[in-house]
Structure 1
Amino acid sequence: MNYIDTSGLNHRIEELSTHRKYHFVDQKPAHYKHGRTPTLLCVHGFPDCWYGWRYQIKPWVHRGFRVVVPDMLGYGGTDKPKDPVEYSTKRLCADLAAILDLLEIKKAVLIGHDWGAYAVSRFALWHPDRLLALVILSVPYSPPSLEYISVKTIAKIAPNLSYQAYFEEQRSTQEIESNLNTFLRVIYRNPNPTQRFKISQLYKGPEVLAKIYVPDSDIVLNSEELKFYNKIFEQGMNGPLNYYRTSLYRHEEELAAKLSPNLRQDLPVLFIWGTKDTTTTSSLIHKAHKFIPRLQDFALEEKGHWILVEARDVITEKIAQWLEDLAIEARMAAKVHL
């Protein structure tokens, strides 16, 4: 069993200027210098929490970074409003900016996985001047659209995404809460499960979940990690599922703000994905390159969606080295202009 020591982390609960309370880990390196030590703001996805970064926090701090990892809205020790409108990406990005304000950090490196990847990508549009660099994991960048396409329409076009239409429905909250352990086992499957099951089948309801058997060998979590996630989500699934109920709110906000589809031209962006992750396709990656001038992409062969666990050492080292290389490039460029 792989064991990761999460003891000794600095956990904080603070009320932000957005009037929402957030729980987050705030870990500084030994020789931290305010204004000089780069900060990594790590944003988890669904269904996850700060614990999703457990394999990266201490190694990145040891490399000299300040690492800030919140429970996003609706998760863990953070506020859990009931209304889906509270979970629009504009509001989530305002919360992330407020965390940086609270910590008196002008600019940070934002790193996001899954829904967190979507959130940090949108942060680069809503708050472009607050980023030093951007790292996106598992979900490629998609630009704002001038036309609204509902989740149900998307599910018809791409049946493998029909689970999102199920999550959008309010009934999914109670049904998933009633079958929580099985649901987590289904979600956290490894990319080569012995028991075949399409996640899109969840749309059929609780009777499907009740019949599913997912053996320990088919999931990327060990028993202690699975127990941790069960405890976290026993608090309720409404907040996490509300992210899937925001598509119209997100579209209206972006349309009203006339958000550009292009990320800042000088912004370094790294995208990492697993080749066995069905949420990522070559066409989506190719499309992302059109809107991100400095996009670098890196494939993890034979890995699935949960690369923070499946490829934890590679992820930890790749991102740290990429950021260190950027710092070296910046110092060399500064010398040239002296």
Structure 2
Amino acid sequence: MVSNLQTKDLTTTDGLKYTYDTVPAKENKATVLLIHGYPATRHDWKHQIQDLSAAGYGVVAPDCLGYGDSDKPLEVEAYKLKRISKHITEILDKEGLNKVIGLGHDWGAGVLSRLAVWHPDRFEKFVFLSTGYNPPGIPMDVDAINANGLKHYGKMPFGYWYFFNSLDAPSLAASHLESFFSLVFPTENLKWIDNLGALGSARTWLNNNIITPLPKYMTEEDRADWLAEFSKPNATVGSMNYYKALLRGVNVEDEAGLTDEDRTLRVPVLTIGGTQDTIARPEYQRMNTEPFAAAGYTDKAVDAGHWMMYEDREGVKKALLEFIQE
């Protein structure tokens, strides 16, 4: 437990409620903005909040739009990443934070990538876990990514994107929630690409209501907390809307005029990849990030899968603190 952690709400200027956790920094140390991925909430940072605050660093960890205790609009158009980036800056404004260190995991790295372009003056450093920098304005071709995976590894990594883009995916996940937990938090990291990445595998998994043993990196309490969060009304709808928004071109208009100059990261950047992550491979993270890191780039690896925050807490802590303290 972090004794001075506070949970707060913010209503954005366009009328949406966000919930976030915050811990103040000590002795003028930096504050770290923690942006969770999919399917997660601010609670997935519990170890990192403890480790960073113990080292004197401040923390701000929101439930992103569509997750946890934040609002969950049903409309796909509500999930424009430029708009969500603005929401995050309003949280920073409320906390009186002019500059922070940005840390994003999975889809949180996608949100952080937009913050880096639309609000670069708010950041001292960037840290991307698992998925790296996602340069805004460069179309993400899921078909090409899957074709590349088949060519180089013999396996399709992003087959589940097509499922998440379907109309019935949120209801199917919600009606088989324990099975969905087993699907997204794999017991065996190296089989994840077969169970989630292969075309049609996610739908088949849920239809068969497959439930696997608890992963060694999570506790029964972790599982119960996750099930409670994703049992909330519209939790599976809102969270999957990020996928739908990207695949349906919701961000295209906002990002159409961006250049490589706009996409350049002008503060130091760290990526941390999981050596056992068979879907978000570390080599892709490096390939997407390093060309845009104009002020220094560091890449670290931990012996973990996608959920490194749970699986290798010490490895993530070491990499983070070394980078922050540089």
> Shorter chain as normaliser: what TM range?
0.7 to 0.9
Find 2:6's aligned residue among 5, 10, 14: 10
**What's the CA shift for 1:101?**
1.1
How many equivalent residue pairs? 314
Residues 214 and 201 of structure 1, relative CA distance in 2, 3 Å threshold = farther
Q: Distance in 1 between matches of 2:216 and 2:85?
A: 31
Query: Can you list the C-alpha shifts for 1:161-185, whole angstroms capped at 9, x where unaligned?
Result: 0101110112101111111111111
SS at match of 2:164: helix
**What's the CA shift for 1:231?**
0.4
Contact 1:189/1:219, CA 8 A, preserved across alignment? no
Amino acid at match of 1:277: D
2:291 paired residue number:
290
**What's the CA shift for 1:88?**
1.6
Per mean C-alpha deviation after superposition, the further-off stretch among 41-50 and 14-23 is 14-23
Q: Distance in 2 between matches of 1:58 and 1:283?
A: 30
Query: Can you list the C-alpha shifts for 1:292-330, whole angstroms capped at 9, x where unaligned?
Result: 1211100113x11000001112212321232112xxxxx
Contact 2:160/2:201, CA 8 A, preserved across alignment? no
Contact 1:125/1:259, CA 8 A, preserved across alignment? no
Q: Which has the larger radius of gyration?
A: 1
TM-score by length of 1: 0.84
Q: Distance in 1 between matches of 2:271 and 2:221?
A: 30
Q: Distance in 2 between matches of 1:310 and 1:164?
A: 24
1:44 paired residue number:
36
Amino acid at match of 1:251: V
Residues 1:90 and 2:76 are matched in the alignment = no
Amino acid at match of 1:12: K
Query: Can you list the C-alpha shifts for 1:31-67, whole angstroms capped at 9, x where unaligned?
Result: 46xxx33111100000000111011112211211111
Residues 245 and 195 of structure 1, relative CA distance in 2, 3 Å threshold = closer
Residues 239 and 281 of structure 1, relative CA distance in 2, 3 Å threshold = same
Residues 1:263 and 2:264 are matched in the alignment = yes
SS at match of 1:69: strand
**What's the CA shift for 1:214?**
3.8
Residues 1:276 and 2:293 are matched in the alignment = no
1:240 paired residue number:
239
Query: Can you list the C-alpha shifts for 1:195-233, whole angstroms capped at 9, x where unaligned?
Result: 995213573675531425343254632111101000000
Query: Can you list the C-alpha shifts for 1:113-153, whole angstroms capped at 9, x where unaligned?
Result: 1100121122111111110111100002232345x455466
Per mean C-alpha deviation after superposition, the further-off stretch among 72-81 and 148-157 is 148-157
TM-score by length of 2: 0.87
Q: Distance in 1 between matches of 2:103 and 2:185?
A: 20
**What's the CA shift for 1:234?**
0.4
Find 1:200's aligned residue among 197, 209, 226: 197
**What's the CA shift for 1:160?**
2.1
Find 1:75's aligned residue among 47, 51, 67: 67
1:189 paired residue number:
186
Q: Distance in 2 between matches of 1:112 and 1:7?
A: 24
Contact 2:117/2:136, CA 8 A, preserved across alignment? no
Identity of aligned residues (%): 27
Runs of 5+ consecutive residues of structure 1 not aligned to the other structure:
326-338
Amino acid at match of 1:269: V
